[in-house]
Chain A
Amino acid sequence: ETGVTQTPRHLVMGMTNKKSLKCEQHLGHNAMYWYKQSAKKPLELMFVYNFKEQTENNSVPSRFSPECPNSSHLFLHLHTLQPEDSALYLCASSQPRGYNEQFFGPGTRLTVL
């Protein structure tokens, strides 16, 4: 598959579980992003990675832990989440500097019970 892919597409987890979301981009970009999309709220930027280095943490709780092993892969590790963390999590990629278009994945729909 080309573009930005995300797995899994749907995830249901309990508050004591540990799970990970995966994002992969096939566009040769060097910047990757995690966004959270909740009902009735704007799309919220969570983390930014440029050339595998984290350059932005938008005051995200520590129960969300990102990992970027290389410029093509981005993970979001989840542990001891709360029901209010239920949302659509979107991954995006772009070139890192300038007013660049971001390319989005299809998202992972997360439900925390």
Chain B
Amino acid sequence: AQRVTQPEKLLSVFKGAPVELKCNYSYSGSPELFWYVQYSRQRLQLLLRHISRESIKGFTADLNKGETSFHLKKPFAQEEDSAMYYCALDALANSKLTFGKGITLSVRP
């Protein structure tokens, strides 16, 4: 069975500081990885996915198959990045997602 681990519950940084939200997964095959975000009083929404190779709102994530990681990074955090971030895995291209527990990112002015 697949599993997604987000080892930290909270990351607090100052505006302009770099951000790295960690995500590790366990799955024997080649899954697709996603980052979903939930801003205050908004619904859960897709931030980015590995297959798209995009940078969204300045965030990037690289899939490291050797380390089975998909960490989310942003070089300069903004206050509007404060939110709950969830890493998710789709193992079989069947749109069934396995989520991590999520991490709260707090960006202070």
Contact residues of A with B, CB < 8 Å? 4, 31, 40-45, 48, 56, 90, 94-107
Contact = CB atoms under 8 A, between A and B. Distances in A.
Contacts, number: 51
Contacts of B90: 99
Contacts of B51: 99
Interface string B38-51: 00000111100101
Interface residues of B, number: 21
Given A40-B101, A44-B99, A48-B96, 7 more contacts: A42-B102, A43-B102, A94-B95, A96-B95, A98-B95, A102-B46, A105-B43
Contact of A107 (B32, B43, B49, B95): B43
5 contacts: A95-B95, A98-B93, A98-B95, A99-B32, A100-B95
Given A41-B101, A99-B49, A99-B90, A106 B43 contact: yes
